[in-house]
Amino acid sequence: MKKLLPFLKPYWAASLLAPLLMMLEVSMDLLQPRLMASIIDEGITKNNLGHIQETGLFMIVVALIGLVGGAGCTIFSSIAAQHFGKDLRIRLFEQIQSFSFRNLDERKTGSLITRLTNDVVQLQAFVQMILRIFVRTPLMLIGSLVMAIMLSPNLAFILVVSVPVLFFILYLLTKRSFPLFTKMQSKLDQVNTVLQENLSGVRVIKAFVRSDYEEQRFNKTNDDYTQAAIRANRLMALSMPLMTLVLNTSIVAVLWFGGLQYYQGSLEIGKLIAFINYVTQLLMSMLMLSNMLVFVSRAKVSADRVNEVLNTYSELENPVHPKRASSDHEGSIEFSNVSFSYHNREDDLVLTDISFKAEPGQMVAILGATGAGKTTLVHLIPRLYEVYSGEIRVGGVPVQDYDLEELRSKVAVVMQQAILFSGTIRDNIRYGNPSASDEQIRAAAKAAEAAPFIERLELGYDTVLGQKGVNLSGGQKQRISLARALVTDPSILILDDSTSAVDLKTEANILKAMEQQKSNITKIIIAQRISSVTKADLILVLNDGKIAAQGTHEQLLKTSSVYQDIYRSQRKEDISYV
Q: What is the pLDDT of residue 390?
A: 92
500 and 383 in a common domain: yes
Contact 346, 132 (CB under 8 A): no
Number of structural domains (the chain) is 2
For 480, the domain range is: 333-571
Q: Evaluate whether residue 156 is within a structural domain.
A: yes
**Can you give the pLDDT at residue 576?**
46
**364 and 306, same structural domain?**
no
What's the residue count for the chain?
578
* β strands within 379-502, DSSP E: 389-394, 397-398, 411-414, 423-424, 464-465, 492-496
Q: What is the dihedral of CA 11, 16, 18, 21, to 10 degrees?
A: -150
Is 325 a member of any domain?
A: no
- Cβ atoms of 218 and 181 within 8 Å: the answer is no
What pLDDT is recorded for position 71? 93
Is residue 16 domain-shared with residue 165, that is, in the same domain?
yes
Q: What is the 3-state secondary structure of 126-187? A: HHHHHHCHHHHHHHHHHHHHHHHHHHCCCCCHHHHHHHHHHHHHHHHHHHHHHHHHHHHHHH
**Same domain for 283 and 365?**
no
Whether 73 and 149 share a structural domain: yes
Q: Which residues fall within 8 angstroms of residue 290, CB to CB, at 6 or more apart?
A: 166, 169, 170, 173, 239, 240, 242, 243
Pairing of strands 522-526, 363-368: parallel
- For residues 293 and 339, membership in a common domain is answered with no
pTM across the whole model: 0.69
Does one domain contain both 282 and 344?
no
Residues 291, 248, single domain; the answer is: yes
**Summary count for the chain: helices (H), strands (E):** 20, 12
- How many C-beta atoms surround the C-beta of residue 192 within 10 A? 21
Q: Does residue 278 sit in the same domain as residue 416?
A: no
In a domain, 3, yes or no: no
Residue segments in the chain with a per-residue pLDDT below the cut of 50: 573-578
Same domain, 255 and 348: no
Domain's final residue, options 310, 343, 365: 310
- pLDDT at position 574: 46
Say yes or no: 509 and 383 in one domain: yes
Express each pLDDT in 452-491 by its tens digit: 888 888 888 888 887 777 778 878 888 888 888 888 888 8
Give the pLDDT score at 513.
Answer: 66
- E strand spans, 410-489: 411-414, 423-424, 464-465
Tally the C-alpha atoms within 13 A of residue 269's C-alpha that lie toward its C-beta: 9
Q: Is residue 315 part of a domain?
A: no
316 occurs within a structural domain:
no
* CATH number of the domain residue 372 falls in: 3.40.50.300
* CATH label of the domain that carries residue 40: 1.20.1560.10
The reply to whether 427 and 468 lie within a common domain is yes
Residue 63, amino acid? A
